[in-house]
Amino acid sequence: QKEVEQDPGPLSVPEGAIVSLNCTYSNSAFQYFMWYRQYSRKGPELLMYTYSSGNKEDGRFTAQVDKSSKYISLFIRDSQPSDSATYLCAMSARTGGFKTIFGAGTRLFVKA
Amino acid sequence: GAVVSQHPSWVICKSGTSVKIECRSLDFQATTMFWYRQFPKQSLMLMATSNEGSKATYEQGVEKDKFLINHASLTLSTLTVTSAHPEDSSFYICSARDSGGSGQPNEKLFFGSGTQLSVL
């Protein structure tokens, strides 16, 4: 079993839709949770950063962490064609020497 | 957010030659940098962890003599692919962890723009 599970998709939605991206994990020690967006042939860009449980909102993006279920989500409201990219979840723990574990990435296509 | 500069973006080389890729943190100090390899439509594969002033730590299966890493300063790490062969063709990405002025670890990783290596 992988430490972090993420559906690779692809996920295709119409413009304006609400997108829900998710990851599950097995290591209860994870404390730091991140979402990255990666366009083709570019480096990942940090979108959201959350410590421990709870929600965090930034513009059209909302990140949720449910540590009891070992489940994290990223919601994108009013999705745009420019949101078409691969979204990677990532997490780390102090006990693991802060080694960051990445999900496989979900490919998202937003159709105009 | 913090900026990590990676150069070159593209490199084409002949088989048997060596290629150096640079990764610089522009507005923060990075005691730790990471090097990844990424194949098309796949996630990041961590190759090695580069620590300033010490030897890099390589992941299992990564040849340290082939992928030489140097982290001589708090803002620069280099990856040299020695005697490159076509199977080394890939997208290489670096990332840096902002160590924070207080010395407390910051979990945010900032990535370079990547280097596409093509070995003929």
Which pLDDT score is estimated for A94? 77
Tell me the residues of A at the B interface, defined by beta carbons under 8 Å apart: 32, 34, 36, 41-46, 49, 51, 88, 90, 92, 94, 98, 100, 102-105, 107
Shortest CA gap A85–chain B (Å): 11
Which pLDDT score is estimated for B72? 82
Q: Do B107 and A107 touch (CB under 8 A)?
A: no
Q: What are phi and psi of A78, to 5 degrees?
A: 50, 55
DSSP-derived 3-state class of residue B104: coil
Q: How many residue contacts between A and B have a Cβ separation below 8 Å?
A: 49
CA pair distance B15, A11, nearest whole angstrom: 38
**Nearest by CB to A98, which of B42, B105, B113?**
B105
Which of B33, B43, B95 is the best substitution to test chain A (most A C-beta atoms within 10 A)? B43
Residues counted in chain B: 120
Give A1's pLDDT tier (boundaries 50, 70, 90): confident
| CA dihedral of residues B11, A99, B77, B93 (deg, nearest 10) | 10
> Tens of pLDDT along chain B (120 residues)?
689 999 999 999 999 999 999 999 998 888 889 999 998 888 899 999 998 888 899 999 999 999 999 988 889 999 999 999 999 999 999 999 875 555 455 578 899 999 999 999
Here the tokens at position A22 are: 């998710």
pLDDT in tens, A57-94: 999 999 999 999 999 999 999 999 999 999 999 998 87
Contact B35, B20 (CB under 8 A): no
The residues, any chain, with a CB within 8 Å of residue A83's CB and separated by 6 or more, are A19, A37, A76, A108, A110
Alpha carbons within 13 angstroms on the beta-carbon side of residue A109 total 6
Q: Mark which residues 47-106 of B lie under 8 Å from A by CB.
A: 91, 93, 95, 97, 105
Here the tokens at position B29 are: 């100090």
pLDDT in tens, A6-45: 998 999 999 999 999 999 999 999 989 999 999 998 999 9
Pairing of strands B90-97, B115-119: antiparallel
